[in-house]
Structure 1
Amino acid sequence: MSPWEGGSFGARGECLLAPNPNIMTLDGTNTWVLREPGASQVVVVDPGPIEDGHLGRLVSELGDVGLVLLTHHHYDHAEVAHEFARTKGCAVRAVDPAYCLDADPLRDGEDLTVDGLSLRVLTTPGHTADSVSFVLPGDGALLTGDMVLGRGTTVVAHPDGQLGPYFDSISRMRELVLTGEVSTLWPAHGPVLADALGVLDFYLAHRRERLAQVESALRELAVPLSAELAEDDTLPRRVVEVVYADVDESLWGAAELSVRAQLAYLATRES
C-alpha cells in the first residue's frame, strides 16, 4: 500500500488510490475525495478506471456525492465517471463537453461551490488540450491532474498535448505559488508535493533542458528542422534514441510522444 493511500490531506482532501499501477500511472490513479469539514456531500475528482473493483469501492465507500470532476479525458481518470455519477445521482464536469454529464463544460476562473466546499477552475492545457487543475483555497492546494506528477515528469501527449500551452500552464501554476494562493500540489499520480515552487521550477528547467537536448540531437543527426520535417514519422524515434539513450526502453514510447511535441514546438519557434 502506498503511504498516501486512504490518507487525509489538509482539512478537505482524501486520496483513494486506484489499483492500476504501471510505468505511466506510477502507483495508480489518485481519486481525490474533497469535503468541507462538517459537510455531508463530497466532490470526487478523477474516479478513474474500472480495474479490480475501483468503481465498486467508490460506490460503497462514498455516500452523498455532489459532483464529479475530471482533470482530463484519459481513461485512467475518466473511464467510470459517467457510471459512477449516474449511480450517485450527480453531474460530471470536464473541459471537454463530450465527457460532461448533465452539466456544462468547465470554464477557466470559474468558482465551484458544493456543500460549502470552494474550488476554482484553472485550465492548464499541455499534457492534453483539455487538462484542467483545481485550486482548493481552504487548504492552499492545487489539484494538478497529470500536468504535475508526484514523481518524475509528465508526458506532453502529442498531438493532443502541446508544449507552448504546457509552458504557459506551468507558469500560471507558479504564479499561484508566488502569490501565496497555493503551497502544495496534489497530483493525479504519486504523492503530494509540499515544495510547490521547487517542483514547478524543476518542471520548467527540465523541459527546457530536454528542448536543448533535442536541438543537439538534430545537429548530431544533421537534420535541419522545418515544419514539414517535424511531421516525419521516423524522426522522433531517431531523436529518442539519442536523447533518451540512458532511459529504460520501456519508456521510449512515452518519450516519443514528448519528442514529437518538442519537434512541433521547435519548428513553430523557428518559422
Structure 2
Amino acid sequence: MKTNVKLRKALWESGHVTPSLFGVRADNITPMTVVGTNTFIVNAPGSPKALVVDPGPPDVLHLRKVMAACADRNAEIAGILVTHHHLDHIAGTDLLRHLIAHGPESIDPDNVPATMDGTRFRFNAFGNYPLVVFPEEGVPVYHTELGNLPEGPFAPFEGCPAMEIVALPGHSYDMVGLILNDEQVILTGDLIFRYWSTVIPYGDGNLGDYFRSLNRLQRLVRAGVVTQFVPAHGFPIDQPIKALEGYRAHRKERLAEVTRIVDGGAGFDPDAVVAGVYGNIDDPMLLRASLASTVTQLEYLAEQRGGEFSFDPREFNRRFPNLGQT
C-alpha cells in the first residue's frame, strides 16, 4: 500500500485524547493495519489503576512504552480489555501480562517465547475462531469470548472512570465499543476510521450488522452521549456525524458498484466481481481482504433480493495458506 499524504497525516503517534485517555501507537504497519494499532490507556486522573485497551502486537518495545506511560501516571495496569479478536489487537495480551508480572525487562525483544508471541491466536478469520483462554493468575482480561464483557456499565476496578460497553458488530462478530461517559468519547475499535474504510470480512463480519452499528453510533451522538470517536487506527474523529454519513455513503456506493457488476454479467462469482471492482491486485494480503469484503457484500445483496449465496470459508485457507488474520 502506498503511503499518501492523508495516511501520513493519519500517522498519529501517541498522546492524550482526554484527561482519562492516553494512546500509544504500535509500529505494526501493514496494508491491513495501515498506520499501526492504537493501544489505549484508560486512567482517571489521580487514580492508581489503569485499564489497557487492545495491547496490540506481541512487540516488547511497544508494550514497554505502554507500561512506561502508565508509570508516568503513577498507575499500575489493573485490567486489559480487547475490543475484538483480530491479531493486531489481541496478540500481545499474553506478553503484556507476563511483563506486568515479571517486569518490562524480563523478555528480550528479539527473543519472545513462543508461548507469548501471539501464535496461539493465529487463525483464519473466515470460519475458525481462536480459543481465547487466559490463565487465572495475572492481570484480568476482558473480552466478549470470555463472557465477562456484557453490554452496559463497565467497572473493572475501583477508581476507574464511568464507562459503558456497547456491542458494535460488523467488522467482526465480537466487536465492542467502550464509552467514557463523563468525557463523551467512545473507543470504536475497527468499526470506523478517519481517513480510510474498514474491511468487513466474510464469516467474521456482516454488512447488515455493520449498518446497524453505524446507526447505533449515530443515535449515541444524537442523544449527546458521545461527541468523539476514538478508533484503533489513526487519529480520533472530531466530527462523528460527518464521518458516519461519509462511511454510510461509501458503503452504499461500493454496494451499488458490486450490484452493477453482478447484473452486468459477473453474476455472484466472487472472483469476477473482485476483478470488476478492484482490478488486478498483486499484494496477497490486499487480495484476501478484497475477496473477503466482496463475498460479504454478495451475501448481503443476495439477502436483500430474497435469494441465497454461499461461499466455503475454507477457500480462504486454500488460496492464502500463509496468511493469518491481522
TM-score, scaled relative to structure 1: 0.87
Cα offset, 1:59, TM superposition: 3.9
Q: Contact 2:202–2:292 (CA<8 Å) still a contact in 1?
A: yes
> Does residue 105 in structure 1 map to residue 105 in structure 2?
no
Q: Contact 2:42–2:50 (CA<8 Å) still a contact in 1?
A: yes
Tell me the equivalent position of 1:215.
259
CA-based RMSD: 2.0
Q: Could you say what secondary structure the match of 2:211 adopts?
A: helix
Match of 1:127 among 156, 171, 192: 171
Tell me the equivalent position of 1:254.
289
Match of 2:225 among 181, 188, 192: 181
Cα offset, 1:91, TM superposition: 0.4
Q: Could you say what secondary structure the match of 2:66 adopts?
A: helix
Tell me the equivalent position of 1:82.
94
Structure 2 CA distance for aligned equivalents of residues 260 and 3 of structure 1: 30
> Does residue 7 in structure 1 map to residue 10 in structure 2?
no
* Higher mean displacement: 112-121 or 191-200: 112-121
Q: Could you say what secondary structure the match of 2:40 adopts?
A: strand
> Does residue 91 in structure 1 map to residue 126 in structure 2?
no
1:7-49 deviations in Å (ceiling 9; x for gaps): 1112111111111011111211000111111212111100010
Cα offset, 1:82, TM superposition: 3.0
Code of the aligned partner of 1:156: I
Match of 1:263 among 283, 290, 298: 298
Code of the aligned partner of 2:142: R
Match of 1:201 among 226, 229, 245: 245
Alpha-carbon distance change, 11 to 55 in structure 1, aligned in 2, over 3 angstroms: closer
Alpha-carbon distance change, 13 to 168 in structure 1, aligned in 2, over 3 angstroms: same
Structure 2 CA distance for aligned equivalents of residues 113 and 174 of structure 1: 27
Cα offset, 1:258, TM superposition: 1.0
> Does residue 157 in structure 1 map to residue 201 in structure 2?
yes
TM-score, scaled relative to structure 2: 0.73
Structure 2 CA distance for aligned equivalents of residues 222 and 248 of structure 1: 18
Q: Contact 1:85–1:92 (CA<8 Å) still a contact in 2?
A: no
Code of the aligned partner of 2:163: L
1:174-223 deviations in Å (ceiling 9; x for gaps): 11011111111100011111111111111111111111111101011252
Q: Contact 1:121–1:132 (CA<8 Å) still a contact in 2?
A: yes
Q: Could you say what secondary structure the match of 1:167 adopts?
A: helix
Q: Could you say what secondary structure the match of 1:262 adopts?
A: helix
More RCO (CA 8 Å, sep 6+):
2
Cα offset, 1:135, TM superposition: 0.9
Q: Contact 2:50–2:79 (CA<8 Å) still a contact in 1?
A: yes
Structure 1 CA distance for aligned equivalents of residues 31 and 48 of structure 2: 36
Structure 2 CA distance for aligned equivalents of residues 222 and 69 of structure 1: 43
Structure 2 CA distance for aligned equivalents of residues 222 and 24 of structure 1: 27
Large movers: runs of 4+ above 6 Å: none
1:79-109 deviations in Å (ceiling 9; x for gaps): 1213323543420001112xxxxxx421122
1:116-141 deviations in Å (ceiling 9; x for gaps): 31210001111010111111112211
Tell me the equivalent position of 2:109.
none
Cα offset, 1:266, TM superposition: 1.1
Question: Aligned residues: percent identity?
Answer: 33
Structure 1 CA distance for aligned equivalents of residues 21 and 278 of structure 2: 37
Cα offset, 1:51, TM superposition: 3.3
Cα offset, 1:244, TM superposition: 2.2
Q: Could you say what secondary structure the match of 2:152 adopts?
A: coil
Match of 2:184 among 140, 143, 146: 140
Structure 2 CA distance for aligned equivalents of residues 264 and 175 of structure 1: 26
Structure 2 CA distance for aligned equivalents of residues 139 and 171 of structure 1: 21
Tell me the equivalent position of 1:116.
160
Code of the aligned partner of 2:140: A
Alpha-carbon distance change, 23 to 135 in structure 1, aligned in 2, over 3 angstroms: same
- Aligned pair count? 254
